[in-house]
Amino acid sequence: MRSRNIIRRWNSAVWLLVLVCVWPSAVAGQSRTELEARRKALERKIRQTSRILEETRANKAATLEQVSTLRQQIRQREELIAILHQELELIEERLARTTDVVNALQDDLDRLKDEYARMLRLAWRQKLQHSNLLFLFSATSFNQLVLRWQYLRQYEDYRQRQSELIASTRQTLAQKMQQLERRRREKQALLRQAERQAQLLQYEMREHEALLANLENDEARLLRQLETQRRDREKLNHAIEAYIREEMTRREERLRRAEEKKPAAENASGMAFGKLKGRLPWPAEGAVVRPFGRHPHPSLPQVVVENNGIDIRTVKGGTVRAVHDGVVVATSFVPANNYMVLISHGAWFTVYANLEKVEVEKDQAVKAGQVLGRVAIDPANGTSVLHFELWHGKQKQNPEQWLR
């Protein structure tokens, strides 16, 4: 009777192990999968930024670009470290739960082993005394003899199965613990590596901010440079706004006169684009060095600059791709901004500026991911920066909120 109670408790512990290790893992596993996907995406971005930084370090004239790129990479590193911490916490929670169950099982297994040893000793004494034979042949009828024989067989089979189950479960638990410990060591190693890299980047950031402090002494030259850049951006903005107004006017005129209907493909493209906020691919691989909207200048905090889109620092001559299906509205050369491509996606427009070479033509239909050209290389500092804008009708949007 005592043996049966221990076995029942042991079987209950096995089911508890299943519930603890399998059911929570189905819930936590989704979180781990999501965290791992985010971690891999960040690691890919960090590798891209690192390639850009390697190009910049050799050029002292690119200090401002390098500081902006470093700040972007530091933010990515900090997010990566936070994700690694979350992954490690999930693993430690599961490890703690499994350890508690293993300890409970071990207590029952110890008691079961003691009981099992007592049963073996009793069985051995019974065998020496031929008690099994006495038990069989003391039956009062043939049917009772058969039942007693079946009982002994079942008892022996049961004892063998329990022995095998104990050994198998202990081996499984040991493997589970080894797997969790191994995973924990891997995550800890990744965490140490990410923290070390973040520290290196912080050091580099301080070094380049010191260079920026020296640049602040040349404030007059920087202000003249900013004024030139402002005039160049105004030319680009005027060109973009003019093309968008022209395209919207043509479309409205066609509809008003009912000379032709809006193509179904254009309608579908516009509706699909509007549902893709936060899921559009990046037009080029790189780091955002100038964000959307109004923000302080990196070396002149008292100066506020405004950006109608985002500036993406890429490797030299980086490839530029369409973020969604659409039709090329214009390809134009804008002084100081090189070539620009404007694509219509129904009521939405995307702008790709500072290209040295354009591989599409006006009125050409393009697909998402299609190559539009390559980013121009600045002869003054050897950097390549793509200017990207996103418009809904005549309203400017923050492109970063639309990109994944």
The CATH code of the domain that includes 385 is: 2.70.70.10
**In 129-141, which ranges are continuous DSSP H helix?**
131-137
* CA neighbor of 250 nearest in space, from 271, 234, 266: 266
Q: Are residues 153 and 293 in the same domain?
A: no
Q: Are residues 207 and 246 in the same domain?
A: no
Domain end call among 186, 215, 244: 215
DSSP lists the bridge partners of residue 349 as 344, 391
Note whether residue 220 is domain-resident: no
User: Do 286 and 362 meet the contact criterion of CB atoms below 8 Å apart?
Assistant: no
Strands 319-321 and 326-334: unpaired
Note whether residue 221 is domain-resident: no
Note whether residue 224 is domain-resident: no
Q: Are residues 371 and 308 in the same domain?
A: yes
Note whether residue 259 is domain-resident: yes
Note whether residue 226 is domain-resident: no
Distance (Å, rounded) from C-alpha 303 to C-alpha 223? 9
The pLDDT tens digits along the chain (404 residues) read 444 444 444 444 444 444 334 334 443 455 778 888 888 888 888 887 887 777 766 665 566 677 778 778 888 888 888 888 888 888 777 777 777 766 766 766 676 667 667 766 766 665 655 566 666 667 677 777 767 677 667 766 766 766 776 677 677 777 777 777 777 787 787 778 778 878 877 877 777 677 666 666 666 666 776 677 777 778 888 888 888 888 888 777 766 765 555 454 445 555 688 889 999 999 999 888 889 998 877 666 677 778 999 999 998 899 999 999 999 999 999 887 899 999 999 889 999 999 998 999 999 999 999 999 999 998 877 889 999 999 998 899 999 999 98
Identify the domain containing residue 347 by its residue range.
Answer: 235-401
What pLDDT, on a 0 to 100 scale, did the predictor assign at position 242?
A: 84
Domain end call among 187, 215, 243: 215
What b-and-e string marks burial along 213-224, b requiring 16 or more CB atoms within 10 Å of the CB? eebeeeeeebee
Task: Give the C-alpha distances (Å, rounded to integers) separating 286 from 72, 295, 375, 385.
Answer: 10, 20, 11, 9
Terminus-to-terminus CA distance in the chain, angstroms?
A: 63
Q: Are residues 209 and 249 in the same domain?
A: no
Q: CB neighbours (10 Å) of residue 35?
A: 17
Q: Are residues 352 and 293 in the same domain?
A: yes
Note whether residue 199 is domain-resident: yes
Q: Are residues 168 and 65 in the same domain?
A: yes
What pLDDT, on a 0 to 100 scale, did the predictor assign at position 254?
A: 63
What are φ and ψ of residue 392, in 5° steps?
A: -115, 105
Q: Are residues 273 and 388 in the same domain?
A: yes
Q: Where are the beta strands (DSSP E) in 308-347?
A: 310-314, 319-321, 326-334, 338-345
Count of domains in the chain? 2
Q: Are residues 201 and 262 in the same domain?
A: no
Distance (Å, rounded) from C-alpha 50 to C-alpha 52? 5
Note whether residue 228 is domain-resident: no
Q: Are residues 250 and 358 in the same domain?
A: yes
What pLDDT, on a 0 to 100 scale, did the predictor assign at position 18?
A: 40
Q: Are residues 245 and 205 in the same domain?
A: no
Note whether residue 229 is domain-resident: no
What are φ and ψ of residue 316, in 5° steps?
A: -60, 125
Q: Are residues 101 and 210 in the same domain?
A: yes
What pLDDT, on a 0 to 100 scale, did the predictor assign at position 22?
A: 39
Q: Are residues 169 and 48 in the same domain?
A: yes
DSSP lists the bridge partners of residue 291 as none
Domain end call among 215, 248, 268: 215
